Structure 1
Amino acid sequence: MIHPRCGSYLSRILITSVHFYSTFTTSPPTIPLISLLRQCKTLINAKLAHQQIFVHGFTEMFSYAVGAYIECGASAEAVSLLQRIIPSHSTVFWWNALIRRSVRLGLLDDTLGFYCQMQSLGWLPDHYTFPFVLKACGEIPSFRHGASVHAVVCAKGFESNVFICNSIVAMYGRCGALDDARQMFDEVLERRIEDIVSWNSILAAYVQGGKSRTALRIAFQMGNHYSLKLRPDAITLVNILPACASIFAIQHGKQVHGFSVRSGLVDDVFVGNALVSMYAKCSKMNEANKVFERIKKKDVVSWNAMVTGYSQIGSFDSALSLFKMMQEEDIKLDVITWSAVIAGYAQKGHGFEALDVFRQMQLYGLEPNVVTLVSLLSGCASVGALLYGKQTHAYVIKNILNLNWSDKGDDMLVLNGLIDMYAKCKSYRVARNIFDSIAGKDKDVVTWTVMIGGYAQHGEANDALQLFAQIFEQKTSLKPNAFTLSCALMACARLGELRLGRQLHAYALRNENESEVLYVANCLIDMYSKSGDIDAARAVFNNMKLRNVVSWTSLMTGYGMHGRGEEALHVFDQMRQLGFVVDGITFLVVLYACSHSGLVDQGMNYFHDMVKCFGITPGAEHYACMVDLLGRAGRLNEAMELIKSMSMEPTAVVWVALLSASRIHANIELGEYAASKLIELGAENDGSYTLLSNLYANARRWKDVARIRSLMKHTGIRKRPGCSWIQGKKSTTTFFVGDRSHPESEQIYNLLSDLIKRIKDMGYVPQTSFALHDVDDEEKGDLLFEHSEKLAVAYGILTTAPGQPIRIHKNLRICGDCHSALTYISMIIDHEIILRDSSSHNCTIVALSFSQLSLALPTRVIAPRSPSPLRVLKDVMLLNHLMRLGDMKVGVSSQTGLERAALPPWYSHDSFSWIISKEFLTNAEMIANQLKSKGYEVELKGWQLHLSFDTLSFGTNNPQSDETG
């Protein structure tokens, strides 16, 4: 009789078959019933079969009913039935089937549950069980569970099974435990097991763990073990090629390509796709296109690799033309294709174009995946499109984060993208709220990196370093990666934190990050340069195994900051000789170096060559550098003519450069014109107002000074207070103008008073024009005495060991009087004084070191053979005391390019000559005779005397006092 609930043909056949065999035979219906059970595709049929088997007592068929339940996806019913079966070696097959199916469906937690449950019910895992369980542990990933399974493998005697060993290697690799993976792999080699899967597993582990160079070393080691049994296969090449791409090892990639041709593996579509992707990521699109055309059966992955490659190098026209070709050839555009173009636009900073492509994708009828949304958030961040970023955030909350909280991987990708977007749009509070909302154990290294990077890139360097320190306080195995280190080094560079930067450098060396990761080395060069240690920056550069354009430009920038323009230009020449392509940014660095080193003619030549020889159109920044270069040299009319000749409207940075030059040379008319242009552009800030106020103050137009300060007050613009800070052994000490809050203030002021007296005896005269107050000259001298950088130097002398450099950082521009005073102070102390200007537009390094000093006349002054630096220094001090009579103009030596940096007391704003005061010299004849009596060879011509400070290393901003006392 047919059951009333079963109307299907299979159900009727099943019941009829069971009824027939139970009525007319004495043995169970094995073959036909097993065949019918295997055809059960629905839960109701499986349950019906189970019911009939139970009713008729076919207990031997229970295990096949388990298979029917598994096939129908009814795991709970399968486990329930297994609990009634006596454990045996043959029935463990069904547990393996249950575990295998859960892994295939991605139910990884269920996999571990079944593994534990089968053991608790008495079944013993076999060599088929462990590979699937280990795979689940790796994909979760769960090192703890994986190590536990490994222990069971050893206890049960399966450690010699090559398939299980390979699974253990892969599991440890996915869990990031590369040392354990390598140990397991080495044990396989010690047993002389030649299995290509073992090599593929360890290669994949290192590539996925970001250790591409180690992966390539293992690949070459594999060549030493080459045999017929150990022949690289397609999977081997698919693992090696991404390693080549990640470190831009194009030559190694070409070698792999050659092997694939010789071995015939190049015809494999997976190998072809990997080759296309490798060449594309190395920006070798011609080679990528050749491989792409050779692939006989192109799939969507092949096309996506080409689209991604063109997008990454900015060839968006080529990428979009591939879109059309895919449509013409009826290749379905998938979400990866669209995401590749969106990601390409985002990486190149074309955020609005990325948004347009996203809209087209929606019109095409595709729903974005996690990668698409993360790329879209990156595009919003690149252009500061906070509104679109918020809209994407809302979409994510509605469609991604609330759909499946169990998928932590996707959730973390999106949350990291949101933190990055909000941080780059300067919504730090929102970014930090999202960061803090993630549980500590769920934060991955990317989460920490994007938050630290957001702080560091936008001026919140202190917050970045505080957050970086918290990584090591976490009770997890989380470690900073190369990107995290780069962000922390960026923050150190902004603050000039040399001590912490050195600690990070040591950490990078211990973890092989400095030599292996290009961008870490580049950040080290930048950090050392901005922290005043250009020699260390050069040492990092010399030790780099691989250099790119950023490496060269970073070193050139460092030399420019330190006023060593000739060395910067030498690096530029080396860069060109080695075949590196120079661009607008490279020339901007060259012009910057010329500007900060007084190389006016060279700067003009490079500016013209940039246009005529290299075909690079100057941007606003190039013009601003040229205005600064001409302005420093006092050639204000030429600077103004250059601005008028610009093919674009001058931007704020150009007018600021002109205003700064006007301040130096007391050109009120030109300064007022530049200030008016800044106001028209709406770009006025505390810096531009301060420059104009100082310009008026220097001309003693106190009513205009009051007017500017009143205007600042009414427009809500507040001037930042000037401060200087110095790093001690345990902490950083900050000083403000006239600061007496330090516990050692009395000693600081007493020492500073003594220093000022001593340098006045040497010829120092306070430059009262930098005291911008309507008071008499004596009071102005007192105000200059209390500038923060002088206080910091005095404190540094008290607390720094003899012979060690004193490193000072200032948040505003350093005034000319402080330059002059510290120049003299460096003569009489056993320290090198390094000052860093941390203004908003650039960084200045001023290194004062009088280890050598020479005098030069227009024709020639030659010191005695091998004079000691101390002897020459004493000669200079003696000559200073002999200079008693009237003023004398002294021409500026142009040989070193450093003549304007020191700004001694005899500096003249309007002529760029050095003027020796009444207290300073008698006449050139007396000086020449005195030099001759000391053993110098002197040729005197006319009445000019040239002084050159050969070993001064300066790179200053336009000298102006931002500290108004």
Structure 2
Amino acid sequence: MPSPPTMPSPPTLAPPSPRPAWNTNCNLVVTHPLLSVLESCASFRRLLQLQALLTVSGLASNRFPASRLLAFCALSDPPRLAHAAAVLAQCTEGPNAYMLATMMRGFLRAGKPTHALTLFRRVLRDRLAVDARTIVFAVKAAATSSSPTEAIHCVAFKRGFIGQSVLAGNALVHMYTSSMLLPDARKLFDEMADRDVVSWTTLIDGYARGGLPDEAWRVFCRMVVAESVWPNEVTLVAAASAAGQMGLLGLGRTVHQCIVESGGRMSVNLENALVDMFGKCGCVAAAKEVFDGMPIKDVYSWTSMVSAYAKCGDLENAAKLFKEIPNRNVVSWSCMVAAYSHANMPDEAIRIFNDMIAAGVEPIDATLVSVLSACAQLCSLDVGTWLYDTYIVSHKVELTPNLSNAFIDMFAKCGDVGAASRLFSNMEDKNVVSWNTMIMAHGLHGQPEEALHLFQEFKGNGILPDEATYIGVLSACSHGGLVSEGRCHFKEMKIVYGIEPRAEHYACMIDLLGKVGLLQEAFEVARSMPVGADEAGWGALLNACRMHGNVEIGKCAADKLAGLDPSDSGIYVLMSQIYASKSKWGQVKMLRTVMRDRRVKKNPGCSSIEVDGKCHEFLVADVSHVHSEDIYAALGNIYLHSKAEGSGVSFYCGPCTQFLPQNLEFFSIGENEVLQCVSVPQGGEGFLGTNPTGTGTDGDSVYKFLYGDQARFFDDEIRPELRHSKTGTVAMASAGENCNASQFYITLRDDMDYLDKHTVFGMVAKGFDMLTKINEAYVDDKGRPFKDIRNKDTHSLDDLFYDPPRLAELIPENSHTGKPHFEMTEGQSETASAPEGVSGLRRNSDDVGWEYGVLVDINKDKEEKNAKKCQGMKTTKEKLLEAQEKCKKALDEAKRKREEKTVPISFNACDNDEFKQMCEATGQFGPGIEPPTMFDLRGRLLEEEYARTKSLLQEREAEKMKNECSIMIDAWSDKKRRNIMNVCTNCADGTSFISSKEMSEMLHTSEVIFELVDKAIEDFGPDDVVQVVTDNASNNMGAKKLLHVKRPHIFWTSCATHTINLMLQGIGNMPRFKKVIDQAKAFTIFVYGHTRTLECMRYFTEKKEIVRPGVTRFASNYLTLDNIQEKKDQLRKMVVHSRWDSLKDVKLKKRKMSQQLY
């Protein structure tokens, strides 16, 4: 943290002295009375009279009176530029630097910066004298007209103003800081021989506005302590802004001390800066003290205080103060909209925005950015689209990068990725935030491939990624489960770009590894974090453990999270789900007890939906909505008709009656062990009952054990108007008034009602198929299944209310183990008999592959059982044994043919001169000669080729030493997919290959490329190399900077071919061209993909090809398209000819090919 400087004794801030009048003691004034009168001239009419007298007396052509006349005309209100130009032309001695500067200043006052620049160019062309003021006005004119300013810097440097004139130097520093070219401003500032307080203030203000408050504070400390330059009011405003951006209250109090010690009265601007600074530092009391002590408050004073309240989270006082602002402007409204948006209160933000529009205040970019953020939070696509149509399309507002980024973010978070992508593609000035927002948009919507493709395109444009970029990339990898890509990018960010991973990056990696089941590796990543994992990292690991049912690592993650925030209910919910998945119900019960002891409350779930531009918000078990009854009925139908999976039965808790608290008793019990492994008998046709006590009687349920004053008692719901109208209703049939010993059941068909006595608890959400299978089980005359069918796992999806303290004690630890009177178990023999007249399924124990049996009478044990599907494992093994001999013979035959296979000499060898010479030499020696082996020839031939290549290179050495050369590097992949980096040189005689290096196991970082290039330069000779040529990838640009430091005389140039290739790629991706190029590519791929179609095409084009390779990859597309256009008539004849119709390959694609050519 920067430390406050030790302040020197401050001078008193005196008001600025008035500008001195022009010298009236000049000999010309003393000797001629007209010039004394000219000094006191106050009207243009009087000036014309004096000018006439000066002209008659011959003084109008003199520079001194002419400059006075010129100043009056050019600087009057309004400026008289035409008359000023006439005065300038009347001066026969020629204009001096003062007169030219005055004329340029007049053009600027009249809002004509281009005329000022034209005059400046004329001055330079005619080699007229200029002074520092001329440079100042030229800089202002260039900045106002958005003209290039570097040329003015060059003029100032050549004329010597940089080292001699503080005025010119300050103007140039201000020029660069205004354009946010802060490195150039700092370099120019350091080159200035003399600096005044304006010089320091300009640089400090530039750093503060450019988002570098720490650097601004360092310059401020150097100015006050090292240089002993006392700050002025503007300096203190900039220093206060820097301290506020850093949020360091100690530095803010230092600035305040400087202001107090200066002894002067603070202006409104300075007091506003203090209020804003204290607000950003979180000290509302100090901000309020300054605000209350202000004798005069403008609208920015009120806005700064409102912003101070908002930044500290006190929106109540902020809103109250906002209403008291006398004349609210757009900044005040924007401040309040931003306050609600940042506080996650999007509804209020949009309400304030609507009030602003109703008040007739036009929004600015900052307002729209805040409103779009609120729309993104609400997923309110209608409001965001209305903003775009109203303020961008209708009003033709030019989209700035910040506003475009806000719209892209809003569209993406509202689900319209297509609109976000179109807006991104149409952006001309994309910054790193634009790319980051679009990458995160693709990742958010489960499009990891598009996100990574966009990231590669982003790096190809030469833009360096930042921390936010890699958060989006790693998040996209996490959404897509791309482990290898995620690991690669996680290493790349640190090794290649020097970005230290933050907690967010580690959290993404933990989430990625956890989703794919690499829990141990994810745990090691969390433990290896330099500063320790935060809630996001451990939370991602805990959620992954829930997905994969890992109790051990999940408990470690839960302990870490509990240490960070013990009141977070999500920790206990996720951990209880992990225990429940492993049937550790005792641990689940213990967690519920811990939650009660620690008074941890579970926040109800919340969701929202937008209908007709209005956002509706819902909480769990919320019945406040006017259509809540219909909403819950619709939700029940959705769950009911959804396809169920798994063997457990999960209950959707929806309030089907007005007695909401009473209906949740069942779910409180369902969270405990009492409903786990209970028997599930059939209670009758159309429903399933539960039997927690194991007795199988309708009147003995768990509520019998909870009856009495000591338990939680509630009245029965016996309401005739309620009906079990839906399948899958979870209910309890009451045994009578004030008798809670009742039977739970689930309906299996619609339109059921039992004696109008029931309590509805909810709907079956999952596992209904399992209930259907249970219902098909064979039962005795009392409805009890022969097998001991027990529910393996029951989940209650929600429980909004907390149980009384003693309820846990009263609920049984385990379900009762009572069994039905008859039970057929797995261990019974095949001849075991069942009651007469009972039929069932019996498994064939001799064949473990038997799954699907036929319905038989189990008393007739001689009945033949046939398999329906695979016919048993035994049959499958027999078929495999029969095929074994055939497989063995086939393998032996393939091995024999492979051994007998030889590589024949190619028929084309007859045309080879070396082959003929070999045959002649063999004939001279006669039969019996042994040919040389590959090893005998390899070394000698390689040496001969090396010597020949070296001699060719030596021929070009003289040319390289005479005119110097360029070094080119490029990466290629060979047939074995190895990554090879090639180094070549180029001179007037051509290109020569120098060396290559395999880099398959190496990252192509800037440092590696720099070392490769530097070694090539050293080997070849630094004095003979002019430039290095590569593509414009970001790693190459990083190597360029390293080379410039070591060898500043060598240029680094981007490859023109690669740049043109990117341009052609971009043109080809435009919608108007892409469709045509894709059709041409599809046609050529089809034609060249089949021998007969290619032969047919060559017949009609007279053996001329339509595919022509270009200098670059994407240039080939346009050349091919040009060839197709040239041969269009011939190709049209081809596709309608009978020869084309006869081709088998053409039949399916004939119509499509014809349409493309016509």
TM-score of the two chains, using structure 1 as the length reference? 0.52
Distance 2:199 2:100 in 1: 27
Q: Which residue of 2 aligns with 1:392?
A: 387
Q: Which residue of 2 aligns with 1:492?
A: 477
Q: Which residue of 2 aligns with 1:466?
A: 453
Q: How does 1:445-524 map to 2 (within 5 A)?
A: 445-474=432-461, 478-502=463-487, 504-505=489-490, 508-509=493-494, 514-515=499-500
Q: Which residue of 2 aligns with 1:210?
A: 211
Q: Which residue of 2 aligns with 1:357?
A: 352
Q: Which residue of 2 aligns with 1:803?
A: none
Q: Which residue of 2 aligns with 1:935?
A: none
Q: Given residue 180 of structure 1, which amino acid in structure 2 is its aligned partner?
A: D
Q: CA deviation at 1:340?
A: 1.3
Given that residues 243 and 251 in structure 2 are in contact (C-alpha distance below 8 angstroms), is that contact kept between their aligned partners in structure 1? no
Q: Which residue of 1 aligns with 2:157?
A: 154
* Higher share of residues assigned helix: 1
* SS of the residue 1:128 aligns to: helix
Distance 2:270 2:527 in 1: 36
Q: Which residue of 2 aligns with 1:716?
A: none
Q: How does 1:536-615 map to 2 (within 5 A)?
A: 563=550, 564-576=553-565, 613=598
* SS of the residue 1:91 aligns to: helix
Given that residues 408 and 420 in structure 2 are in contact (C-alpha distance below 8 angstroms), is that contact kept between their aligned partners in structure 1? yes
Structure 1 residues 187 and 65: CA distance shift in structure 2, 3 A: closer
Structure 1 residues 256 and 279: CA distance shift in structure 2, 3 A: closer
TM-score of the two chains, using structure 2 as the length reference? 0.45
Q: Given residue 559 of structure 2, which amino acid in structure 1 is its aligned partner?
A: H
Q: How does 1:665-684 map to 2 (within 5 A)?
A: none
Among 85, 92, 105, the alignment partner of 1:97 is: 105
* SS of the residue 1:472 aligns to: helix
Which deviates further from its counterpart, 393-402 or 589-598?
589-598
Given that residues 108 and 140 in structure 1 are in contact (C-alpha distance below 8 angstroms), is that contact kept between their aligned partners in structure 2? yes
Q: Which residue of 2 aligns with 1:793?
A: none
Q: CA deviation at 1:227?
A: 4.7
Q: CA deviation at 1:392?
A: 2.0
Given that residues 74 and 102 in structure 2 are in contact (C-alpha distance below 8 angstroms), is that contact kept between their aligned partners in structure 1? no
User: C-alpha offsets along residues 622-648 of structure 1, whole Å, 9 cap, x if unaligned?
Assistant: 999xxxxxx999997999899999979
- Alpha-carbon RMSD across the aligned residues, in angstroms, is 6.0
Q: How does 1:404-803 map to 2 (within 5 A)?
A: 411-439=400-428, 442-474=429-461, 478-502=463-487, 504-505=489-490, 508-509=493-494, 514-515=499-500, 532=518, 563=550, 564-576=553-565, 613=598, 616-620=601-605
Given that residues 526 and 538 in structure 2 are in contact (C-alpha distance below 8 angstroms), is that contact kept between their aligned partners in structure 1? no
Given that residues 650 and 766 in structure 2 are in contact (C-alpha distance below 8 angstroms), is that contact kept between their aligned partners in structure 1? no
Structure 1 residues 132 and 689: CA distance shift in structure 2, 3 A: farther
* SS of the residue 1:376 aligns to: helix
Q: Which residue of 1 aligns with 2:317?
A: 318
User: C-alpha offsets along residues 214-269 of structure 1, whole Å, 9 cap, x if unaligned?
Assistant: 555x358638x7157234555455445555555xx54x333332452365279665
* SS of the residue 2:211 aligns to: coil
Given that residues 588 and 621 in structure 1 are in contact (C-alpha distance below 8 angstroms), is that contact kept between their aligned partners in structure 2? no
Q: Which residue of 1 aligns with 2:376?
A: 381
Distance 1:219 1:534 in 2: 49
* SS of the residue 2:306 aligns to: helix
Distance 1:599 1:170 in 2: 70
Structure 1 residues 289 and 119: CA distance shift in structure 2, 3 A: same
Given that residues 46 and 69 in structure 1 are in contact (C-alpha distance below 8 angstroms), is that contact kept between their aligned partners in structure 2? no
Distance 1:500 1:649 in 2: 50
Distance 2:197 2:289 in 1: 29
Which deviates further from its counterpart, 44-53 or 156-165?
44-53
Given that residues 439 and 473 in structure 2 are in contact (C-alpha distance below 8 angstroms), is that contact kept between their aligned partners in structure 1? yes
Structure 1 residues 35 and 455: CA distance shift in structure 2, 3 A: farther
Distance 2:580 2:728 in 1: 23
Distance 1:109 1:420 in 2: 39
Q: CA deviation at 1:89?
A: 2.2
Structure 1 residues 632 and 463: CA distance shift in structure 2, 3 A: closer
Given that residues 768 and 777 in structure 1 are in contact (C-alpha distance below 8 angstroms), is that contact kept between their aligned partners in structure 2? no
Given that residues 649 and 766 in structure 2 are in contact (C-alpha distance below 8 angstroms), is that contact kept between their aligned partners in structure 1? no
Q: Which residue of 2 aligns with 1:892?
A: none
Given that residues 595 and 601 in structure 2 are in contact (C-alpha distance below 8 angstroms), is that contact kept between their aligned partners in structure 1? yes
Given that residues 515 and 521 in structure 1 are in contact (C-alpha distance below 8 angstroms), is that contact kept between their aligned partners in structure 2? no
Given that residues 195 and 229 in structure 1 are in contact (C-alpha distance below 8 angstroms), is that contact kept between their aligned partners in structure 2? no
Q: Which residue of 2 aligns with 1:345?
A: 340
Structure 1 residues 776 and 401: CA distance shift in structure 2, 3 A: same
Q: How many residues align structurally?
A: 636
Structure 1 residues 79 and 374: CA distance shift in structure 2, 3 A: farther
* SS of the residue 2:386 aligns to: helix
Distance 2:364 2:206 in 1: 26
Structure 1 residues 77 and 433: CA distance shift in structure 2, 3 A: farther
Structure 1 residues 314 and 122: CA distance shift in structure 2, 3 A: same
* SS of the residue 1:320 aligns to: helix
Q: Does 1:401 align with 2:396?
A: yes
* SS of the residue 1:230 aligns to: coil
Name stretches of at least 5 consecutive residues in structure 1 with no aligned partner: 1-25, 403-407, 625-630, 681-687, 703-764, 783-798, 800-965
Structure 1 residues 199 and 65: CA distance shift in structure 2, 3 A: closer
Structure 1 residues 401 and 349: CA distance shift in structure 2, 3 A: farther
Q: Given residue 423 of structure 2, which amino acid in structure 1 is its aligned partner?
A: I
Q: Which residue of 1 aligns with 2:222?
A: 222
- State the identity as a percent: 22
Structure 1 residues 122 and 361: CA distance shift in structure 2, 3 A: same
Given that residues 557 and 589 in structure 1 are in contact (C-alpha distance below 8 angstroms), is that contact kept between their aligned partners in structure 2? yes
Which deviates further from its counterpart, 554-563 or 445-454?
554-563
Structure 1 residues 693 and 324: CA distance shift in structure 2, 3 A: same
Structure 1 residues 302 and 399: CA distance shift in structure 2, 3 A: farther
Between 1 and 2, higher relative CO (CA 8 Å, sep ≥ 6) is seen in 1
Distance 1:516 1:239 in 2: 32
User: C-alpha offsets along residues 530-577 of structure 1, whole Å, 9 cap, x if unaligned?
Assistant: 67587678768866679976577567667777842232133224425x
Given that residues 352 and 379 in structure 1 are in contact (C-alpha distance below 8 angstroms), is that contact kept between their aligned partners in structure 2? yes
Q: CA deviation at 1:321?
A: 0.8
Distance 1:70 1:767 in 2: 105
* SS of the residue 1:332 aligns to: coil
Q: Does 1:371 align with 2:358?
A: no
User: C-alpha offsets along residues 294-315 of structure 1, whole Å, 9 cap, x if unaligned?
Assistant: 5554443232133234445654
Q: Given residue 418 of structure 1, which amino acid in structure 2 is its aligned partner?
A: F
Distance 2:589 2:522 in 1: 30
Given that residues 464 and 488 in structure 1 are in contact (C-alpha distance below 8 angstroms), is that contact kept between their aligned partners in structure 2? yes
Q: Given residue 437 of structure 1, which amino acid in structure 2 is its aligned partner?
A: N
Structure 1 residues 297 and 156: CA distance shift in structure 2, 3 A: same
* SS of the residue 1:152 aligns to: helix
Structure 1 residues 272 and 316: CA distance shift in structure 2, 3 A: same
Q: Which residue of 1 aligns with 2:250?
A: 254
Given that residues 649 and 765 in structure 2 are in contact (C-alpha distance below 8 angstroms), is that contact kept between their aligned partners in structure 1? no
Given that residues 141 and 174 in structure 1 are in contact (C-alpha distance below 8 angstroms), is that contact kept between their aligned partners in structure 2? no
* SS of the residue 2:374 aligns to: helix
Given that residues 506 and 529 in structure 2 are in contact (C-alpha distance below 8 angstroms), is that contact kept between their aligned partners in structure 1? no
Q: Given residue 481 of structure 2, which amino acid in structure 1 is its aligned partner?
A: G
Distance 1:766 1:318 in 2: 75
* SS of the residue 1:264 aligns to: helix
Given that residues 194 and 230 in structure 1 are in contact (C-alpha distance below 8 angstroms), is that contact kept between their aligned partners in structure 2? no
Distance 2:581 2:151 in 1: 63
Distance 1:767 1:544 in 2: 57
Name stretches of at least 5 consecutive residues in structure 2 with no aligned partner: 1-30, 608-618, 621-643, 682-686, 691-726, 732-745, 751-762, 778-847, 853-867, 877-976, 978-1158
Distance 1:430 1:421 in 2: 10
Could you say which structure has the larger radius of gyration? 2
Q: CA deviation at 1:171?
A: 3.9
Given that residues 519 and 541 in structure 2 are in contact (C-alpha distance below 8 angstroms), is that contact kept between their aligned partners in structure 1? no
